């Protein structure tokens, strides 16, 4: 269901409240992205430093793919 705003509702909008909400969501998004980067880097670096062999290479490849998936999700949003 799509809601339609009336002219009066649009006129009465409190744009500062919308801007504050947008700023808050932007901050949450930035923190989530920084956390994803940190965790991804720590996991891949630790795996590279401590594990060797085919299984480690496969796990590293999957972690990198997950990271790329996360980046593409951020670009779409």
Position with higher pLDDT, 25 vs 66: 25
The C-alpha atoms of residue 47 and residue 30 are separated, in whole angstroms, by 26
Looking at the chain, which runs of residues are DSSP E strands?
Answer: none
pLDDT band at 13 (very low <50, low <70, confident <90, very high): confident
Note the pLDDT of residue 73. 61
pLDDT band at 25 (very low <50, low <70, confident <90, very high): very high
Residue extents of the structural domains in the chain: 52-77
Note the pLDDT of residue 69. 80
The string of pLDDT tens digits covering residues 29-68 is 999 888 888 888 888 899 999 999 999 999 999 988 888 8
Alpha-carbon radius of gyration of the chain = 21
- Which ranges of the chain does DSSP label H, i.e. alpha helix? 7-11, 15-50, 54-76
Other beta carbons within 10 angstroms of residue 48's beta carbon come to 12
The mean pLDDT of 9-38, rounded to a whole number, is 90
CB distance 74 to 33 below 8 Å: yes
């Amino acid at each position: 269901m799509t809601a339609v705003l009336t002219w009066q509702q649009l006129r009465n909008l409190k744009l500062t409240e919308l801007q504050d909400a947008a700023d808050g969501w932007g901050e949450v998004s930035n923190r989530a992205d920084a956390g994803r980067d940190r965790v991804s880097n720590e996991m891949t670096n630790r795996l590279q430093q401590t594990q060797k062999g085919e299984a480690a290479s496969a796990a590293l490849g999957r972690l990198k793919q997950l990271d790329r998936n996360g980046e593409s999700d951020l670009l779409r949003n």
